[in-house]
Every structure is written in C-alpha cells, then in structure tokens.
Structure 1
C-alpha cells in the first residue's frame, strides 16, 4: 500500500497558504474511529481507500512527498502521519474552536514516540507508560494529569490516536486564552527578528521560558518551520495565550485570541500573505460597517502605533489593536460589532 492516490487527492484540494491549527476535536475523533473500525485485524494496517476518504473529508491540502513508496499506516507509523497532517491546513480548520495547535501535536506525539522507543517499539503504550509521560512534564501536560489518568488502566494497550483523543477531550475542561501587551510583544519580537520563517533558536528560547518540558526533553522544542513567519505567528499567539502564566490580570488584556486570529486570516487578509496592508479589508470593513467613533479609534491606534501606512500590519499588531480599542478588559470586541453589523446588513 502507498500514497500515490493521496498525492493526487491533495493536489485537488490545494488552497492558498494560510494558518494550520494542528487538529480540532472532530478530526482526531474521526480518525480514531476509522482506525478502530477499518484496520486489518492481522496486520493492523489502515486501508489506503479509507485514508484517502479521510483526507478528502477533512480537506487536507498538503503533500506526502516525505513518505517513501510503500508507506503503510499502522500504529508504528501513525505518529509521523499525525505530525504531517498537523503541519498542513485542512479546510475545516478553525482557530475559533478548541484545538491542538501544531506545537502541541509535535510535543504530545514527540513524548509518545520517546516513550515507545524505550518500550516494545510497537506503537502502543500501557496505561502505566502513559502515566510516566504525564508525570514527567512540568507544564504542557499538567492540566491533563489527573483527568486523563481516568481514561486508561495500567495494562491497557494505548496507541497515539487514543492518547491524543483523550487529551483533546479534556482540553475543553482546561481551555483558556488570554494575552496582554507584554505577552504580545514577546511574540512580536520573535517575528520582527525573523526572516522567511520564525527564527528556530529564538523560538526555542521563548518556549523554554514557558517551562513546557523538562530539561531532558528540550530537544522536542526544535520545531521545523513549514510555513512563512507571518502565518506561523498567528498560531504562535494562540499557543502562547494558552501556556504563558506570567500574566498580569490587572493590566488590560484580551481573550478570544483564536477568534481574533480567525478574523485576521478569513475576514481581512484577502491575499493570504499573513499580513494586512492598511488599504486591505481591515480599514475598508471597519469604515463601512462600524460606527464612526469606533473607526476613529482604529485611526487613532494606527496614527500612534503604526504611522508608516506603507508597512503591513502583522498578527501581533492586530492583537495589540484589539486591546487598545477596548481597554476595559475586553468587555467589548470588534467581533461582536462586526457580527451585529453583518446581521443588520442581512436583514435590510
């Protein structure tokens, strides 16, 4: 079995570059259900037609060139397959949903692979081995520690799909997103010091400051960069909003970071370059559909923080604008104004 037909399928579903979120809950649960239902009972291989059907259903847009001819999908190869999927946009992807970002997928799957290498190397871990992963990580896994342990028994054979499905299920119970200007500035500094892609060394230093992993596993923070820096910055802001705890709740901040990044990419960034020219949809939309006073706030923000109108606005500056426009701790946001205006327009 191989992926020749998948390559053709992916070409048919190619869309313009934009951000990838890793996985949402539906994508993970559907693949897990397909694997349970359709894998060969003897070889443990998921048939190629089932894989192609799944890729089509989620609108996968990437290629599969990194896999050699004859690649099969089973428990042993599933971790790399999941990372491949996470690194490429899938049409239903939405940062507005509870999701696993590509950073989380790489970290969670990376730990699973490390633990599997220590054991039988068969793509399965026991419940006890899963507990070792949960107990070993300082921050990124701590919110799931006690709740996920209820999903598995010590002797259970658990594959990486079951493991991620459990994490996703319990992420809803621990989900939060918030950013203040100090946090946004850290992400923006990384972007400003990067070129085509986010600087790997500086990004690792930023992630190490979050104490996401123990020192033994800090090599798992060496992320590959498959998207342009401006696109990756969108997901970085979402990821950072969920895992940075150095947060001054007394300073103005914004929640709904994923929603704002969705708006940035889908409503305003019409040429899909990850940046907003001042003449792009942001100001056109704001001027047409929001109140004169609110549009004036946008103009005032740009005058103070972005006077060079020839320079595009990156996602981090877009998030700074959300805080500046609504300094009362996000009691109101542009999303609600936009939705209200759209509703009125549709009803007229």
Structure 2
C-alpha cells in the first residue's frame, strides 16, 4: 500500500490542521492485528481508525479513498504519524514523527537494494541494524535476536521492535532546556530550522553518518508550539551527553508534556493564563504555587510554551522570580 506523491502531499496538508504525535506501540500492533499477511483493505483501516480514536470523518474518508493495493505501508505510516490519534498519550513510550519518517525510509532503502517487496530477510535486517544504527552493541544484539526465527520482516514488526528496545536517554537539564527555549523565543509559524538542525547535530549517534542528512533535512508540517512538545521528548530520549543537577528524567519530560497537553484546552500548543491557572489548581498542592495565580493575574495575555512549562517543572517549588522570568517576553 502506498500513496502517490500528489496524494501524499494532499493528505499531509490535510493533517496540518491537527497536531503531531508519532506512533505508539498500540498503534503499530493494531495495524499488525487487523492485517492479513500485512495486507490492509479499506474496511480494516476504517475499523482501525475508529479503535484508535481517529474519528474525524473527513480524515477517514480521505485516507480510505486514496489507499492503493501494494505490499508496503511506508508513506502511509509516515502520514499516520502526523495524524491526531485520540488514544495517544505523551506519557507512553512512542516513536516521534522524526523517528517514524527516518526509520521507515531506512527500511525502504534497504528493501530496494534487494527484492523490493516490502519485506527484509534476516540478512538484510541485520545489515540495516548493524551498519545503519549507532546503538550500543547490547541493544543491537537484542533487536537482532527478535528476528532470528523470521525469514521475512515487515516494516510494522521492524518498527515495533525498534520501539521496544529504544534507549531511554538521559533526560534534560536546565542548560539543555534553555537551549530549547531559544527555539521557543525565535519561532514564527514554524520552529527555526537552522537552530533545530543545531540541536539535532548533537544527536548524530542515532543512525550512521550516511543517514544523518535524512534526519537533519527538517520538513515542518505543524505549527511551532505543537512541534516543540515532540522535539523536547525526542531530545530527552536521545540525549546521551549527560545531565547536570537539577534535571528532568526522560519519563518526567514525557509526563510533563502529557500534563501540559491535558490543560491545553484549545490544543494550540500554548497555555494561556487561564489554562495555566487550572493546571496549578488541580496539579499542585503547594499553597505558594497556587498563590502564583493571583500574583500573575495581570499577565493574562502571556502564553506559556512547552519549554517554559518544563522549566517550571524543573524548579519544582516554582519560585515567583523564576516564573516571572519565564513569562517575560523580553527574555
């Protein structure tokens, strides 16, 4: 199954009005469960969309209409990663849209070197993992061991195993969060591609050098505040540079983004003062934190992005002077 180029761009453009999530294990396994020899028809995909909370009738109709008969799901999976899925939670381990796009296309590139049928044999898979990924040897060994009894490996099972063994990462310290804050300060409609490339340049250990350009070739589909949430999780997961105290673990970064998203009622990737106030009242027991609502009542016009919220979480007791700094437009 694949999208023709024109169809793919029309679908991605249609998804731009939503927000980027990526793919969790349940989304990948759900496709495996409904497929018959990895062949998925329109009836199956409609059932799958409903089960995963993709209930927008226009989205479902558009995807069903443009599905083709084929043995691969490559471009469809990339499109699905961009789609809003009601069952998605930032708190759960998942593959970001960056990873889905990169890992799927690495799989396809390897497939094209042999019999291009949408599958890899064990030798091709071992070559891709061995030379394509810059993972630790024990992680590579675990991934390869998952396929030792399989003669044909499909992109869905490949993604599921990659996700299963994906490194946890070091999380983010204050300095690293501040680096992301530069993106928060400088974005217009989309994140600053040049500075985003700078951040990703420190993560070249994800894949081998020949694939680095694929990772750094940034194509923005979603508005900056929404993509920023995914970017901080992605960086926390692949940060092996080490962290300084105080820092947030990768799990804490994920949970913070889940919390942020819960109170982002208009789903614009920003918390206005009312949304932030609701979060403080419900999530914080510290009386001083609750007092911040009244203290910053005049700042109702200010907006808090995901990185600013991480800084609040990092500082734990949320001192007034620090929060004032975060809300300062001139920082």
Give the TM interval when normalised to the shorter protein.
0.7 to 0.9
CA distance in 2, matches of 1:227, 1:181: 26
Which residue of 2 is the match for residue 199 of structure 1? 192
Alpha-carbon shift at residue 136 of structure 1 (Å):
2.1
Which residue of 1 is the match for residue 326 of structure 2? none
Are 1:128 and 1:154, in contact at CA under 8 Å, matched by a contact in 2?
no
Which residue of 2 is the match for residue 71 of structure 1? 67
Q: Deviations over 1:112-163 (max 9, x none)?
A: 0111122222111111111122122454686731111101138711110111
Q: Deviations over 1:220-240 (max 9, x none)?
A: 112322211000000111111
CA distance in 2, matches of 1:175, 1:91: 24
Identify if the C-alpha distance between structure 1 residues 225 and 32 changes in structure 2 by more than 3 Å, giving closer, same or farther.
same
Residue 234 in 1 paired to residue 225 in 2?
no
Aligned positions of 1:265-284 closer than 5 A: 265-266=261-262, 268-278=263-273, 280-284=274-278
Structure 2 segments unaligned to the other structure (5+ residues): 8-13, 319-331
The match for 1:189 among 166, 182, 200 is: 182
Which residue of 1 is the match for residue 76 of structure 2? 81
Are 2:229 and 2:257, in contact at CA under 8 Å, matched by a contact in 1?
yes
RMSD: 3.5
Are 1:2 and 1:71, in contact at CA under 8 Å, matched by a contact in 2?
yes
Which residue of 1 is the match for residue 158 of structure 2? 163
The match for 1:315 among 292, 306, 314 is: 306
Which residue of 2 is the match for residue 217 of structure 1? 211
Alpha-carbon shift at residue 64 of structure 1 (Å):
7.5
Alpha-carbon shift at residue 187 of structure 1 (Å):
1.8
Are 2:46 and 2:60, in contact at CA under 8 Å, matched by a contact in 1?
no
In the superposition, the TM-score normalised over structure 1's length comes to 0.76
Are 2:120 and 2:152, in contact at CA under 8 Å, matched by a contact in 1?
yes
Which residue of 1 is the match for residue 328 of structure 2? none
CA distance in 2, matches of 1:69, 1:17: 19
Aligned positions of 1:46-195 closer than 5 A: 46-60=40-54, 61=56, 63=59, 71-76=67-72, 78-137=73-132, 139=134, 144-153=139-148, 156-171=151-166, 174-176=167-169, 178-195=171-188
Alpha-carbon shift at residue 281 of structure 1 (Å):
2.3
Which residue of 1 is the match for residue 256 of structure 2? 260
Identify if the C-alpha distance between structure 1 residues 192 and 110 changes in structure 2 by more than 3 Å, giving closer, same or farther.
farther
Tell me the secondary structure at the aligned position of residue 209 of structure 1.
helix
Which stretch has the larger CA shift, 225-234 or 101-110?
101-110
In the superposition, the TM-score normalised over structure 2's length comes to 0.79
Structure 1 segments unaligned to the other structure (5+ residues): 8-13, 328-348
Alpha-carbon shift at residue 311 of structure 1 (Å):
2.8
Q: Deviations over 1:278-326 (max 9, x none)?
A: 2x222244247633233357889x79xxx96633111001000111125
CA distance in 2, matches of 1:65, 1:188: 39
CA distance in 2, matches of 1:121, 1:99: 28
The match for 2:290 among 295, 298, 306 is: 295
Count of equivalent residues: 303
CA distance in 2, matches of 1:308, 1:260: 22
CA distance in 2, matches of 1:153, 1:291: 53
Are 2:24 and 2:95, in contact at CA under 8 Å, matched by a contact in 1?
yes
CA distance in 2, matches of 1:272, 1:16: 13
CA distance in 1, matches of 2:139, 2:239: 16
Moved over 4 A (4+): 14-19, 64-70, 140-143, 296-300
Are 2:16 and 2:222, in contact at CA under 8 Å, matched by a contact in 1?
no
